[in-house]
Structure formats: structure tokens, C-alpha cells
Amino acid sequence: MDLPSKLDNTESVTKFLRNKDTSVDEIYNFVIDILYNDNDQNCLPYKEKFILELLIDRISQSSKLTQKFKQSEKTWKLFNFIWNKCKADSRLISVRSKVLSRLKFGEVFTKIFAELSAAGLYKNTELVDELLKTVDSIINSTRIHLSDDQNLMIINHLLEFAVKEPQYTTETHQRLLSLVIVFFQQNNKGNLKYDNKHRAEFAKLCLPNLLMAMEKHATPKIKDSLSSIIVQLLFSETDPDNVVSLIGCFSKAENASSLGESEILDLLRLIIPKISIGKLEEVAQILVSAFPQYSAVLIKEIAEMNKSLSSTFLSNLVEEALGRKDGDSHKLIIYSIRRNADICLKYTDKICELCQENSEFSMPLLKELFDSYAKNRDLDLFVKIWSDLISKYPGSIFESDSFIDYISLKYVTLSNTQLSALVETEVNEYIGSPNQNPIFLLSICKGLLKAVSGSIQNAVSKTLLHNLLHLKALLVSLVALKGQYCWKLRFYIFSLFDVEELADDAKYLVNQKHENDSYYFFTMLRIFEQNTDLANDKFTKNLDSFYRKKSDSRFKSVLFSRFFMILEELLEVNKIKKFVEVFLKESNQEVVRKVFSNPLIQTRPKIMSCLIEECIKHNKMTNYLQFISVYAFTKTQRQQVLDLMVERLDDHSSMLIIENILKMPTYKSKLETEFDSLLKLARKGCQFSSIIVKIMNIHLQQPTESAKYIHQFTNSIAEVINKISPRTLLDSTDYLELFLLFVKDCTFNDPKMNTLKEKLIETAVKEITHLLSDTDNLSAENIEWILTFLTEINFCSKVEVKIDSLKVIVSQLGEKYTCHREMKLTIFRYICSLDDIYKPSYVIALFLVLNTRELDDTIDLYLSKLASREEDFLETWINIHKSFEESNPEDIESYIRLFTLMIKNVQKPTVAEKVKTIHRVFVSSISQIYHEVLKNDYLTKDIVALLNCLKTTLSTKTWIFTQYATELNLAFISHISSMLLNREDEHLVKNCYVELCQVTSSVILYQRKRISNRHHMINSVLTSLLKTLLARAHYIRGEGSLAFERLVSNLCEPNANNLYVKQTDNSSKDIEINNALSQIKSAMRKFIPVVIFNYITFYLKYQVDPSIKHELENAIFMMIDLLTLNELNYINRSLDHQSRQVFRNIYEEYKKFYKWNENS
């Protein structure tokens, strides 16, 4: 910055600052760097007043020079800096207020926001953030006056910024929306309101952006306030019916097309409860016309709010939708006919015409049409319409299996009289015209088949079976009829009844001349699977010919998914092979997967053997093998598959197939017997690690039989290790990766193998560590690999390898790679893996300096090993605690993670004095964390992890919890719960709340004795958790409410297994347990009423979210269940009128649901 040579007096400074050639940056830098760092206070007396006046003067002027001031973030940063300097001095606050009184806020800031918008400077996030802080400061400390025009334009620009720039921080977005609320209330409070003109302008200019900002950036609290603005805008007390006009203005907004479905629905949900059905229809018509793509969901929303729409309105919508023929129009028609049956009857022909085009949306619409007729009890009429549609549109959606399946159950659950009458009518029609499609009769058979097959098991199945008996004679009478669809109908009839019941009809059909109809063969196979004596060679020849020459893919898939058992009995192996070959060749993967995945077909040896052989034979089919159970393979086939897969390791399915086959080892495949095959797997990467370990374990479980293989494996590894050098390292990594898996994950039952493993480890560690003595010939990548390998070996092995120069090597590496982050982390992991070389205090200090979560797993492993050395572990914990007391606030997360891992890994010492020391340091640690969390308002996932650790520790290490530790934890839980009330991270709030409930549950389950006379603490925790649950229900939802319900259940219904009693005799013990339970419940009755009082208070303050309602009510019912009638009356008398009504409703619900359930 070029400054005048001398700025040592007031005149020179003021002249410099007022000079129009002095830029914003120069003014800012001078004020910050010099003026406020100069010890000579006489240089510029009243500097705050002067600078504020200068800034207000510049932003109030209109010129190119001042425009640069207004559009620079430095201007607003300087304003905020001076503003904050004035806060500490009441005299300066007064001066500040006088200076601001000269500012024409509305005129100045309306223009500033407009200029920023026009220049696109809202993208400058720092500028906008600083400007908003300035505006926020001014309006919160100074009385401002805005005209409605100014107010509206400022709100418009604030919303525009919020929507157009997604790069703002969450804090900036919240500040933008909070200012919108403040500015709107400025001109719309008490008797002061927008007039109709400005309401219309707001609807057109601001409302679209307001809805988008609500959806994308608003917290629940701000969203509620913004919703109130919309309601206040649309529904004026003086002109409540103007909402239609305002929605009309809104729909014509330039940016209305940017609105999404959720924003339009949010608007509609605010409108629906406030207006009459007539006005609602007008609003809906405007919205549907403006946003036709959302028309279906708009009508659905209205329908779900139980608003009855007129036939005229719905007819207009349907007429319009029928002309569009897209997915949304189909949905709109569905919701319309769902709300009004007259629409269904009126437009049936047009709807059916639309459905016959068979788009992806046709089936839902057709099903809804049928449901409408079913609700109106016009099923007989629909049968006639359906028959006409089949004739008019042959081969269409109306005779599809999915539609027949859907409607079949509706018909067959009719009363016996209705169904019999309908079936009799259709039977007579079919007898008169046997070539017509008996679609209704087929649907009846399909529906009845669900009961016979057992696919439904409920009261409906009894009705179906009852109806089936009454319809048997009518249906069987159709077997002898001949026509185009006769075989399909015969198949379903024979599927409904056993062949024994239709023996004569079966013989009659078997003797009929064969037909090239899929259902002819299905019918014959159905008969033969119940009576194979009726089968003959002529049928199998006809089946073979039809299958190969004339059948479609569906026929083939049905044979293998439905008739595989009878196929295996009727066909010889060579025929089955041909059938399988054709099936696999012509079917897609999904069909084959379904067939192979059927556990029943996998029990048919001939078919499965043919399927597997065909898959092995053809490269393109090998991936089908992953769907077949290992038990369906022969031993030879398993060997063949393993040998095949070794050559196809690049295929993703190969890994799944190998893992499956190795469940039953062959001990003969290349993969199991050749070391080179194992190397192939290792070279393909870690995804094959589990397979490598499985193969190694196969041999280790039979060391005698696999002696040759084990010898080859260990010799190969030893040879590579002994010849290791910087030059050969790259070629050796595959062997060393195998060795690492061998050491880490394999199971050693043979002592000789264990000894051999330890020798190999010792040699490997020495030789590979030696490579680090001279790193000039090693790349950084190779050094990282070596250190990672040694770290893994050290952590998984108990073999101690002494290397004198190890510290020097590590030190040299650290000096060489001071700027290499990944190398530093790798070196730290290596240090942690070394026993007795580095002091624990040094390791912990390194961890705190590196300060990254990436090392948490490593330090966890280190502490788990350190825990076996009681003295060192205890000393380390004490040192960490002392260090925490002197740490900076920014280090709190690292210390909390460390304490969590210390608690997780601590072991109970054998000496009583050390147990007491651990008690002290544990309490001190929790106390210090508690203090720092409250002081710094610190609540992150580290606290969630700590709570999870405490929960586990309460059940697995009860010895560590003293009376004071237990009470301290309860206080901690209560305060953390309260902190959740002002957190906006949904994931954090939910997870933390669940952990709080579960930790409290663990205290109650495992430390109940310690809290037996600490009811005030339980009361405090329950009240805090209850408040948080109700206030933050939109974040916590079902998982959190379930955790709270379980907590209350553990409290109110004590587990007898967790009670300590002195008696050992069964009868005496039972009496003592019963007495203990009675005492616990009696004690709880003293504080439970207080919890219920608080619940009623929160109930009236917060709206109960539906997602938590069920579990919350159960929790309250459990508390009520503890209380006597006198205690309930006491609660009732202690409440005011409004609260008493709530309590009575709760008690009525308790008697109606909970108490009834208990007695049932």
C-alpha cells in the first residue's frame, strides 16, 4: 500500500481517508493494520465515529466511485469491524447510534441489493456474507423505516440470492432467510399490512423464490416462520377470498417454471385447511394449468386431505388429461376416479381406449378402474365390459396375466351366491361360443388356485376353498368342450383339483390327439405329475418336437420352473441335455437365475448335472454357476469349475463361484493343489484374500495329507524372504502378501506349524527391516509398502524381533519425509506396532500432533496391546488426563477420541490399589470431558462414539463405575440431551439421541442399585430426553422414539435377572426377588408423576410428530401403569384445565389400548 510519507497527525490521517483517490483496500488496510495497531491514541481521536461517518457517507452517495465502495467486501468487513469495536464501550454505542440516525436505510440498501443483483455480485459469497452481517447489525440495534416498495424489493433480492447461489454456507443461507422474516414482519405487524397491490407483487416476485428457499435451505424453525409469512400473505383478514387472485399472480411469475413438485405441494398444504372447497377447486385449477406436470400429485394431495371435489371440476381435469396421454395424466385420472365414482362410469370407454395403448402407466390406471367398479359393486357390469374389450382389442393388456391375477381375488371372494350366478352366466355363454376367450372364467380359476396352492394363508383362503367346492361341477363341465382357449382353461381346472377326482376326464384328455398349444402340454404334464402311469412315449416325442421347433421362451422357462420334477421322470438324460441346451441358449440371464435359484430344482440330479455341464462347456454361461448351490455339483464338476475359474479371474462372477465351491473342497483342483494358482489370486488383489485364506486353512487342517503343499508354500516364501533386496522387492510383493495372509488370518492347530510360522516371521521382519537401512534405492511408494507390511506383521504376531538400529532408521525416515503426509502416517502406524521401543507418552504425543481420524484404528490397536502392561497403561492414561487439562479448545476432539479408546481397552488390574487409581482417573477424565463439552458447546460424532463406548462399558466392565461415576454420567447425559435442542445436523441429532437413551438404559440395567435413591437424577434425565424427543422429533424419528420406549421399559419393568439377592434357595429367592421388584416400583412411583407432568407440558408446547407417536405413547402408558388410582387422581388434581384435558385423553387411550393389550 502506497501511503503518504507522514501520517502522524489528525489532519494528515483524515485527509488521507477522505481523499476520493484513496481506494477501499487502502482505507481497510490502513485502519486494520495501522490505525488500530498504533499506540499513539492521539493520531485520530474518535476514530470509530469518523470511520462510521465516512462509510455511511460513501454508501449513501450515487457515483461510480462510491459504487466501488458498495460492491467491495472490504467496505462491509470494515463496517463490521468498527461495529464490534463499539460493542465494548457504552459511550461508543451512543456515538454509533447517532451516526446511524443519518442513514436512509431503505433508500440506500434497496439500491445496494439491486446493484449487486444486476452485476451478478451475489456470487461473491464473502461480499454477501459481510453485507448481511452489516444489515443484521443495523436492524437489530436501530429503528428503521421502509416503504412497502422498499420492503418488497429488499425481500425479493434476499430470496433471489438465497436461491441463485448454492455455494453459500449454511450460516449465510440461514441469515438470508432470517432477514426475510425480519423485513416482512417490519411492514406486516399489528395494523400495519401490505395492501392488495403489494400482496399481489409479493406473490409474483417473492413467493416462488420463497418456496424454493424453504425447501432447500431452511431449518425446521425458519421453515415454520416462512410458512407463516405465506399464510399471512395469502389470507388477509380484510379480504380472505383474494387467495385465488394471488395464486393467479404467483402462477404467472417469471421463475415459476423453476419450481419443483415439493415446493408446489408445500404451497398447497398451506392453502387447503384455510379455504372452502369451491375456492380450493379454483386454486387447484390454476395450479394444474400452470404446472400440468404436477397435476396428479396435486389432486392426490387434495384427495388425501379428505377434501371432496365436485364432479364438474374432476371431469374438466380428466377431459384435459385424456388428451395428454403421458404418465402424469394417467396418475391424474387415477386420483380423480378414486375420489369420485361417477367419473369412472362417465369415462370408462375413453379410459379403456387410453389403457389399450399399453404404456408403462396403463396397468395402474386399469387396476384403479376395476377397483372403482368393485367399490360400486358393479362387478357383473365390469365382466361384460371386460369381455367386449377382449373382443375389441385382442392380445392387449386386458387379457394380460398381470391384470387377470390382480382382479382374480376380487371376484372369488364374493359371496357364494354372487359368484355362482356370475360363473353360471359365463359358463353358459362360453358353452354357446367356445371359441371366445373365457377371460372371466380364467380369472376365477387363477383366484381359486391361490387358496389351493397355499400362496395365501389367511381367512380369505377359507372363503376361496368354500367357493371352490360350490363351483366344481360348473367348472368340470367345461373340460369336454373344444375351442381356441380350451387347453388353457383345462390346465387351470386340473390345477384346481386332484387327478383322482377327475380320473375319467384325465383319461379322455390323454387319449386326445396332441395339439401344438403350450397349454396342451402343460395340462398333460399336470396330469402326469400326479399319475405317471398315464404317460407314454408318444407324448414325450411330441413334447420334444414342440419344444425344439415351435415353443417360445416362456414355454421353456415354465417347463424348468414349474414342471422340472416330471420332466426328470419322463425324459432320458440325453433328452434332458438337449432341453437344457436350448433353454440356456434362448433364455435371458434373469430367467435362468430364477430357475437356478429354485432350491427344489437343485435337488434334481439329472437336470442339475446337465445344467452344470452345459455352463462349464460354454464361456458365456459360466456366470450362471454362481446361482447354483454347491451341493448340486458332483465332486468332479466342482473340480472342473475350480480349474475353469482360475483361468477366468477377471470375470467378477469367478470370485463368487470359487467361494461357493470351496464350501465343499475337492482337494484335487489346481487351485487347491498348485501354489502358482494361489499366486494368481494374490496378483489379482485383495478381493481374493478370503479365498486365499480358505485354501490355506484347508491344507492347515490336514497337515499330514497336505505336507507337500505346505512345504512348497513355506519354502517358496522363505526363499523370497532370504533373497529380498531393493531390486527384487517389486517381484516379491505377491509372495509377501500371501505370507501376510498366512500369518494374520489362518488358523494353526499344529504346534509344528506354529513354530514354523514364528521362524518365518522372525526372518521376514529382520530381512525386510534391513531394507530400510539404505533407502536411496527405494522409492517412497516402496518404503510405504514395507512399513505397512511390517506394521501388519507386528500387530498380528507375538514374536519379538530385536533390531538395534530400528530407532535410527525410523528417525532418518521421519527427517527425509517431513513434508510427505502419507509417509508420516505410515511411519506412525509402524511406530505403534513396535513393542517396548518407544515410550507410550511419545506415541500419544505423536498422535496428538498428527491429529487425524485416519489413525484412530491404529492407536486403538496400540492401546489394546498396551492394556496388557498395567503400569504403562495406567501411567499413559494419567498423562493424557494431565495434558488435556492444559490443552487448547481446538484439541478437544483428539482427546475425547483418546479417552474413548482408553475406556474401551482398559482391563481390570489384579491389584486393588490400581483399581482405585483407575476409578479416579476414569472419573477425572469423564468430568474433564463434561466440563470442556459444556464450556465450548462441543457436540460432534466424537461424543456419539464416547457414549457408545460408555454403553458397552456399562455392561462389560461394571467394575469401573463407582457411585460418583454413575451419577456423573447421568448428569452428562442430561446436558448433552439439552444441547441437541439447538443442533441442525439430522444425522448427529438422531444418532446422539439414540446413544443417550441406550446409555441410560444400561445404567438402569447394570447399575440400578447405585441409583436406587437418586430419583431426582433419573427424573432429570427422563425429562430432558422427553423434551428433546418432542422438540426434535423431525430429526430423531422412529429409531430414537423406539430407544426411548425401551429405556422406559427397562425402568418401569425391571429384569429380575439383574437384581442382586442374597438367598440361593429357589423358593426364598423368588420371594426376595418379588419383594425387591415391589420396592423398586414403589420407589419409582414417587418421581414418575413429575415426568408425566413434564410430558403434558411438552405435549402442549410441541406438536407430536406421527413418526414418534406410537412409541412415545407406549412409554407414557408404561409409566401410568405403575401408578395407583390415588396417584393418578393426585396428578389430575394438580393440573390446570387445559393440561387436565390432555391427561384425561391420555388416560382414556391407556385404558382403551395398553391396558386391554395387557389383559388379552
pLDDT of residue 575: 94
User: Do 689 and 722 form a contact (C-beta atoms < 8 A)?
Assistant: no
Distance of alpha carbon 746 from alpha carbon 692, whole angstroms: 10
Highest mean pLDDT among 254-263, 498-507, 855-864: 855-864
Percent of the chain with pLDDT strictly greater than 90: 37
Supply 676's cell numbers. Answer: 502358482
Supply 499's cell numbers. Answer: 387327478
Q: Between 90 and 939, where is the model more confident?
A: 939
pLDDT of residue 574: 93
- pLDDT tens digits, one per residue of 445-482: 888 887 676 555 555 666 777 778 888 888 999 998 88
Supply 588's cell numbers. Answer: 435371458
| Average pLDDT of span 188-213 | 89
- pLDDT tens digits, one per residue of 222-235: 888 898 898 888 88
All residues at 6 or more sequence positions from 249 whose CB lies less than 8 Å from its CB, including other chains: 200, 201, 203, 204
Distance of alpha carbon 1068 from alpha carbon 1086, whole angstroms: 28
Q: Between 97 and 133, where is the model more confident?
A: 133
User: Do 222 and 177 form a contact (C-beta atoms < 8 A)?
Assistant: yes
User: Do 46 and 95 form a contact (C-beta atoms < 8 A)?
Assistant: yes
Q: For residue 57, what are the CA distances in angstroms to 10, 18, 53, 535?
A: 19, 10, 6, 106
How many beta carbons lie within 10 A of that of residue 255, not counting itself? Answer: 14
All residues at 6 or more sequence positions from 344 whose CB lies less than 8 Å from its CB, including other chains: 337, 351, 369, 372, 373, 376
Which helix (DSSP H) or strand (DSSP E) does residue 741 occupy? helix 729-745
Supply 270's cell numbers. Answer: 398451506
Q: Between 284 and 191, where is the model more confident?
A: 284
Residue 358 per-residue DSSP state: -
Lowest mean pLDDT among 178-192, 848-862, 952-966: 178-192
pLDDT of residue 454: 58
Q: What is the CATH number of domain 939-1160?
A: 1.25.10
Q: For residue 1104, what are the CA distances in angstroms to 231, 720, 1121?
A: 22, 69, 21
Q: Between 92 and 674, where is the model more confident?
A: 674
Q: For residue 691, what are the CA distances in angstroms to 44, 360, 550, 717, 747?
A: 79, 44, 45, 19, 14
pLDDT exceeds 60 at position 990: yes
| Average pLDDT of span 1050-1060 | 72
Supply 587's cell numbers. Answer: 433364455
Supply 249's cell numbers. Answer: 399472480
Which helix (DSSP H) or strand (DSSP E) does residue 994 occupy? helix 986-1006
| Average pLDDT of span 265-280 | 86
pLDDT exceeds 50 at position 1159: no
Supply 974's cell numbers. Answer: 442430561
User: Do 806 and 814 form a contact (C-beta atoms < 8 A)?
Assistant: no
Say which amino acid occupies 653: S
Q: For residue 295, what are the CA distances in angstroms to 284, 289, 632?
A: 9, 8, 54
pLDDT of residue 249: 92
- Model confidence at 1058, pLDDT cuts 50, 70, 90, reads low
Distance of alpha carbon 834 from alpha carbon 905, whole angstroms: 18
Q: How many angstroms from the chain centroid is the CA of residue 1142?
A: 35
- pLDDT tens digits, one per residue of 404-445: 888 887 777 777 788 888 888 889 988 888 888 888 898 888
- Among 673, 793, 828, 672, residue whose Cα is nearest residue 721: 793
| Average pLDDT of span 1123-1139 | 88
pLDDT exceeds 90 at position 943: yes
Buried/exposed 71-98: b ≥16 CB within 10 Å, e otherwise: bbbbbbbbbbebbeebeeeeebeebbee
pLDDT of residue 11: 75
Q: How many angstroms from the chain centroid is the CA of residue 395?
A: 43
User: Do 823 and 772 form a contact (C-beta atoms < 8 A)?
Assistant: no
- Model confidence at 102, pLDDT cuts 50, 70, 90, reads confident
Dmax (CA) of the chain:
124
* Distance separating the N- and C-terminal Cα atoms of the chain: 86
Distance of alpha carbon 525 from alpha carbon 543, whole angstroms: 10
- Model confidence at 43, pLDDT cuts 50, 70, 90, reads low
Say which amino acid occupies 60: S
Distance of alpha carbon 374 from alpha carbon 385, whole angstroms: 13
Angle between helices 652-661 and 635-646 (to 10 degrees): 150
How many beta carbons lie within 10 A of that of residue 583, not counting itself? Answer: 21
Distance of alpha carbon 1123 from alpha carbon 1091, whole angstroms: 12
pLDDT of residue 825: 93
All residues at 6 or more sequence positions from 800 whose CB lies less than 8 Å from its CB, including other chains: 835
User: Do 413 and 450 form a contact (C-beta atoms < 8 A)?
Assistant: no
Distance of alpha carbon 497 from alpha carbon 478, whole angstroms: 14
Supply 481's cell numbers. Answer: 368342450
| Average pLDDT of span 262-274 | 87
pLDDT exceeds 90 at position 814: no
Distance of alpha carbon 798 from alpha carbon 754, whole angstroms: 12
Q: For residue 1067, what are the CA distances in angstroms to 203, 1072, 1075, 1080?
A: 78, 9, 13, 20
Lowest mean pLDDT among 900-909, 976-985, 995-1004: 976-985
- Among 438, 505, 511, residue whose Cα is nearest residue 476: 505
- Model confidence at 152, pLDDT cuts 50, 70, 90, reads very high
Distance of alpha carbon 413 from alpha carbon 402, whole angstroms: 18
All residues at 6 or more sequence positions from 1151 whose CB lies less than 8 Å from its CB, including other chains: none
Percent of the chain with pLDDT strictly greater than 70: 93
Lowest mean pLDDT among 122-136, 326-340, 681-695: 326-340
pLDDT exceeds 50 at position 592: yes
User: Do 304 and 338 form a contact (C-beta atoms < 8 A)?
Assistant: no
Q: For the CA atoms of the chain, what is the radius of gyration?
A: 40
Quote the mean pLDDT of the chain.
86
Distance of alpha carbon 372 from alpha carbon 369, whole angstroms: 5
User: Do 464 and 450 form a contact (C-beta atoms < 8 A)?
Assistant: yes
pLDDT of residue 125: 87
Q: How many angstroms from the chain centroid is the CA of residue 401?
A: 36
Q: How many angstroms from the chain centroid is the CA of residue 855?
A: 27
| Average pLDDT of span 168-189 | 89
DSSP 751-786: HHHHHHHHHHHHHHHHHHHHGGG-GGGS-HHHHHHH
User: Do 375 and 410 form a contact (C-beta atoms < 8 A)?
Assistant: no
pLDDT exceeds 50 at position 151: yes
Q: Between 1079 and 548, where is the model more confident?
A: 548
- Among 1116, 1128, 1121, residue whose Cα is nearest residue 1156: 1121
3-class secondary structure per residue, 259-279: CCHHHHHHHHHHHHHHCCHHH
pLDDT of residue 455: 54
- Model confidence at 615, pLDDT cuts 50, 70, 90, reads very high
Supply 108's cell numbers. Answer: 440506500
- Among 797, 807, 737, 743, residue whose Cα is nearest residue 769: 807
- pLDDT tens digits, one per residue of 341-383: 788 888 888 888 888 876 777 888 888 888 888 888 888 888 8
Distance of alpha carbon 518 from alpha carbon 529, whole angstroms: 17
Supply 818's cell numbers. Answer: 517431513
Supply 626's cell numbers. Answer: 454362481
